[in-house]
Amino acid sequence: MSPCTVPVLLVPKKDGTWRMCVDCRAINNITVKYRHPIPRLDDMLDELHGSCVFTKIDLKSGYHQIRMKEGDEWKTAFKTKYGLYEWLVMPFGLTNAPSTFMRLMNHALREFIGRFVVVYFDDILVCSKNLDEHINHLHCVIAILRKEKLYANLKKCSFYMDKVVFLGCVVSEKGIEVDEENVKAIKEWPTPNSITEVRIFHSLASFYCRFVKYFSTLATPLTEIVKKSVGFKWGSEQDRAFIEIKERLCGAPLLALPNFSKTIEIECDALGIGIGAVLMQEKRPIAYFSEKLNGATLNYPTYDKELYALVRALET
């Protein structure tokens, strides 16, 4: 018996299998929150300049490699038609699970993070300037994983690659590109028929906003119709925005990895209802920034809008 019994949820994985989750909202509501810092994608990508050999290690069922504190298993009880069960390992759904896992990974790989390792939950990227160096780096990482009894999913690992897909981006010595599979999904995306479908498309497309100049301005017709005060009404303006975002992402540029020992430039501009900026180095774009103007900022003169663009770009 347990006072914390919750229902089970099955979530489909990319490989066609299912991930078992539990609905932990009740226990999460009375749990003291622990917030370990989660790294930003941009910050992680910025560490990769100069690397030309990559290995990606994916941990096998990462959360399930962490043992529940002895005596706390009853808090994870879930019900099935076969009876009640308790998790002996950390399940998906607990409010502190992401922070707990990220803290473990940062602690285990603390000697290498910022030098030749980038880690985001169960994804570990080892990056080196040459093959000999990479072999040594990889041995160090594998030794730590063995010591900490963390096990990798060999089927999802990639070793000694000159380019690798990491967190939705293709990383190589040349720079960062959009992942072709995700771009293909965006290209083949059907015209949305509801607010929910617009939000899903916008969420996927905005993940790559750093690759698209004036993304926020382009997406304005889509973001407007998801507001309650406006309501869903798909017209020619939305159709043009939808098509243009697809085209821009399909032709997204190769972004450079920043070298912080050299000069970095910011170019800013203001365009009607939006502002934009591009971070550049040696005439190559590193990332694009854009933002839709609202309220008083819409009435700024052009010079003030451009200065505001600079401020927002630096803040971002």
> In this structure, what CATH number is given to the domain that contains residue 307?
3.10.20.370
> Do 64 and 137 belong together in one domain?
yes
Chain position carrying tokens 């998906």:
92
Asked if residue 223 belongs to a domain, the reply is yes
Specify the CATH number for the domain of residue 137.
3.30.70.270
Q: Which domain holds residue 201?
A: 178-250
Quote the pTM value.
Answer: 0.85
> Do 136 and 91 belong together in one domain?
yes
Asked if residue 1 belongs to a domain, the reply is no
> What is the number of domains present in the chain?
3
Q: Give the 3-state DSSP-derived string for 162-192, with helices as H, strands as E and coil as C.
A: CEEEECCEEEECCCEEECHHHHHHHHCCCCC
> Do 221 and 134 belong together in one domain?
no
Instruction: Say yes or no to pLDDT of 81 above 60.
Output: yes
Between 163 and 295, where is the model more confident? Answer: 163
Asked if residue 71 belongs to a domain, the reply is yes
Asked if residue 2 belongs to a domain, the reply is no
What percent of the chain has pLDDT above 90?
53
Asked if residue 48 belongs to a domain, the reply is yes
Span 48-53, mean pLDDT? 92
Q: Across all residues in the chain, what is the average pLDDT? A: 90
What percent of the chain has pLDDT above 70?
99
Instruction: Tell me the per-residue pLDDT of 239-254, one tens digit each, with 9 for 90 and over.
Output: 999 999 999 998 899 9
What letter would DSSP give residue 17?
A: -
> Do 208 and 269 belong together in one domain?
no
Element (H, E) at 245: helix 236-250
pLDDT of 15 reads 76
Rounded to an integer, what distance in angstroms lies between the CA atom of residue 224 and that of residue 208?
20
Specify the CATH number for the domain of residue 242.
3.30.70
Q: How sure is the predictor about 1, in pLDDT bands with cuts at 50, 70 and 90?
A: low
Contact 259, 281 (CB under 8 A): yes
53-58: strand order across its sheet: 117-120, 123-128, 53-58, 158-161
Between 77 and 147, where is the model more confident? Answer: 147
Element (H, E) at 271: strand 265-271
Asked if residue 258 belongs to a domain, the reply is no
Span 219-240, mean pLDDT? 85
